[in-house]
Amino acid sequence: MTPVTPVTLLGLGAMGAALAEALLKAGHATTVWNRSPGKADALVAQGATVAATPGDAIRAGELVIVCLFDHASVHEVLDPLAPDLAGRTLLNLTTTKPEQARELAVWAAEAGVAYLDGGIMAVPGMIGQPGASILYSGSAEVFGEHRALLDLWASSTYFGEDAGLASLYDFALLSAMYVMFAGFMHGAAMVAPAGVSAREFASMAAPWLTAMTGGFDGFGEVIDGGDYTVPGQQSLEFSNLGLFIEASAEQGVGAEPIAMVQRLIQRQLDAGHGGEGFARIIESIKHPA
Ligand code: NDP
């Protein structure tokens, strides 16, 4: 079946351009707009139509996709165009906080616009490739109606009508990723004075951390069960990371990433939970000091 939905895409940064390219490859009539001129040239060669203004772009498409820098830029572009958007469908793939996604969903509802929010779990080069994933929440009807189009970019997962959910999962997954990355950088900094290159360390860290992710499910079971005394866990006393902080200092490097983990542990030790499992540090996070 030939795809027929005329699509508009606002924002041709690295991500917007990758999204547009996948739509064009699949044969969607695609109108694009970007604040700075020149970014559409390669897409025009692939069949895109360039609009001179965001208003012209919106009026050309039934499904309007925005992939701009941040929440403020989305409002800056869309606020004056609410009357043009009325009766159309808006898909926001700009990274926003959950509360910002919810705020935009309310804004859209007041403007008579069907709204779906998305969180992209991929870099531009992964769009349309295996391994890319996009998380969605907001209108179930929009997700269902445009599912085939969404699947052109990535595997698509829908979380529910609360427009903030996709962003919540997105931020939770990225929070986990950034702390892992910081942990890798810390390890690389520790071994550097011993003449170990960061790439050499990477070749050891990748299989090690991959193996360690096997522990997530067990942590999950303990956390969901709410009993940190279940036998067989590494205790918080055993997990005391003071020596890691001293070893970092002896290498002449900072210890911030591991010191952060130690603070989470210490609060549970101070509260008398030393004999309980490591997963208990989630309580330090759930109940900030
Ligand atoms: P870029 O920095 O490459 O592009 C930003 C885009 O936003 C450009 O088109 C820019 O226009 C436009 N823009 C910025 N401010 C305004 C404004 N005030 N009014 C109008 N247009 C504006 O970013 P990406 O394309 O990489 O990212 C876009 C979104 O996708 C972001 O929210 C990002 O978090 C998200 N994302 C990106 C990923 C990535 O790996 N790149 C991964 C996952 C999500 P101009 O060309 O005129 O500057």
The residue contributing the CA closest to ligand 1 atom 40 is 123
pLDDT tens digit sequence for 38-75 = 999 999 999 999 999 999 999 999 999 999 999 999 99
* Ligand 1, atom nearest to 121 Cα: 43
Kindly give the distance from the C-alpha atom of residue 118 to the centroid of ligand 1, in angstroms, as a whole number: 14
Mean pLDDT in residue range 156-168: 98
pLDDT of 264 above 90? yes
Residue 174 CB less than 6 A away from ligand 1? no
| Total residue count of the chain as it appears in this document | 289
| Token output for 120 | 């992209």
CB 58 within 8 A of CB 84: yes
Alpha-carbon span 270 to 266, nearest angstrom:
6
Instruction: Check: pTM over 0.95? Answer yes or no.
Output: no
* Ligand 1, atom nearest to 54 Cα: 20
Kindly give the distance from the C-alpha atom of residue 69 to the centroid of ligand 1, in angstroms, as a whole number: 3
pLDDT at 1: 46
- Provide the percentage of residues in the chain whose pLDDT is more than 90: 95
| In the chain, beta strands by DSSP E | 7-10, 30-33, 49-50, 63-66, 89-92, 114-121, 133-138, 155-158
The model's confidence at residue 5, banded by pLDDT at 50, 70 and 90, is confident
pLDDT of 3 above 70? no
Classify residue 235 by burial, with Cβ atoms within 10 Å: 0-12, 13-18, 19+. middle
Q: Which residue has the tokens 């969903």?
A: 105
Return mean pLDDT, the chain: 96
Residue 76 CB less than 6 A away from ligand 1? yes
| Token output for 189 | 């900094």
Residue 96 CB less than 6 A away from ligand 1? no
Kindly give the distance from the C-alpha atom of residue 140 to the centroid of ligand 1, in angstroms, as a whole number: 26
- What domains lie within the chain, and their CATH numbers? 7-162 (3.40.50.720), 197-286 (1.10.1040.10)
